[in-house]
Amino acid sequence: MNDIHLVIRTTGERTASVAKKLAIVSGLVENEVTVVNEIPFEVALRACYEEAIRVGRKWTMTLDADVLLADTAVRRLLGLAEQMPSHFFQIEGKVFDKITGIYRQAGHRIYRTELLPLALEHIPAAGAQIRPEFHTITQMVELGYPSRVVPSLVGVHDFEQYYADLYRKSLVHARKHSELLPNVIARCSRLLPRDDDFLVILKGIWDGLLMQEALTIDVRRYEDQAACAMQSLGLAEKQPIVDSDGFVKMFPRFFSDIRSLYPTPDGAVWDHLPALSESGTKPERVQRSWLAKTVGRIRERGAIRGSVAAFGALLRLAGQRLER
C-alpha cells in the first residue's frame, strides 16, 4: 500500500466526503489521498495525472466521488495490478451502478504512474469526446500500452447522489448507453414506487431522447434544466449528508445487501489490446469488440424507438404517483 496514491475527483457530489473516508477504510492513509475539484472533466483528468506525477508513487488510483468503495477494494485491485505485464497502462474493476442496474466499469482506475506523462499528451480538448478518459486510454492502447478490466467488485456507483446529478447523468445516458435503455426503463418502472431517484432517472432519459443538440458531460451544462425538471416532478433537492461517520459505519451492511440482491458480475478478465498484433492481424478480443460495436449501433436505433414508445405508460404511472 506504500506504492499507491489516490486522487479523488469531485464536482460537489453528495457523497464526496464519505467517498474519501471509505477509501481510507479500504487501506489508504490520509496523506496518500488528494482531492481534485476541477471542471470540465478534461481539466480534472489532467489535474489528476499531473498530481500523480508530482507525488511519484508506482501506482495512482483515480476515483470519482460518486463511487463508494468496499473495505478491501483498493488492496484487491492493487494486487491484480501488480500481476499485469509491465507495459500495461491501467486496470479497472466493476461497480454496481444504480442508474443502469448492472455491474459495469465506472469511476475508478489504477494507473501505472510512469506512463502518465505520455497519457497527458492524449487528453482530448474540452467537449471533443463524450468519454474523455476512455478516449485517452484508447489512445494509449494504440501506442502499445494495453489496459485490463477484471471482475473484481470494488463498490457501488451513483447511490445517494443529488437528484440534479442523477438527472444530468440519465440525460447523457440516453445517448451514451442507448443499448441499455429498454432494461433501464423497465427496471425504473418496477422500483419507482419506493425510490424517487428512479422518477428522476426516467425524466432524465426522456429529456435526453428528445434533445436534438449534442450532449456533454460538463456538470455545469444542465444545472438550470435539472432545476426545472425537479420542479416539474414536485421534488425538492436532497439535503447534504451530515453524518458521514454514520454513513461509513452502515456502508458494509448496505454493500452486502447489494451483493446478495444481484448476481455477481462475469468472471472473465478482459484486456484492451492494440488494434494489431505482432503478426499484423487483429487479436480475437479486438474482433469481438468491433462486432459488439456494430451490434450496438443496430440496437441503438431500435432502442431509441422502443424507449420512446414505452415512455407513455411510464409517464402516466409517474403522473398518478405525483397526484397521490
pLDDT over 90 at 268, yes or no? no
Lowest mean pLDDT among 24-28, 52-56, 250-254: 24-28
Q: What is the pLDDT of residues 273-297, one digit of tens each?
A: 997 544 444 443 333 333 334 334 4
Distance of CA 269 to the CA centre of its chain: 19
pLDDT of residue 289: 38
CB atoms inside a 10 Å sphere around CB 171: 26
Lowest mean pLDDT among 24-38, 163-177, 217-231: 217-231
pLDDT of residue 309: 47
Q: What is the mean pLDDT of residues 26-31?
A: 83
User: What is the band of 170 on the pLDDT scale with cuts at 50, 70, 90?
Assistant: very high
User: What is the band of 210 on the pLDDT scale with cuts at 50, 70, 90?
Assistant: confident
pLDDT over 60 at 302, yes or no? no
Torsion (CA) 187, 190, 196, 198 in degrees, nearest 10: 10
User: What is the band of 167 on the pLDDT scale with cuts at 50, 70, 90?
Assistant: very high
Mean pLDDT of the chain: 85
- Class of the domain covering 4-159+265-272: alpha beta
CB crowding 82-103: b at 16 or more within 10 Å, else e: eebeeebbbbbbbbbbbbbbbb
% of the chain at pLDDT higher than 90: 65
Q: What is the mean pLDDT of residues 299-305?
A: 46
% of the chain at pLDDT higher than 70: 83
Lowest mean pLDDT among 3-17, 43-57, 147-161, 310-324: 310-324
Each domain of the chain, given as residue ranges in start order, spans 4-159+265-272, 163-237+297-323
Within 91-237, residue ranges assigned H as helices are 116-120, 132-142, 163-176, 181-191, 197-210, 223-233
pLDDT of residue 298: 39
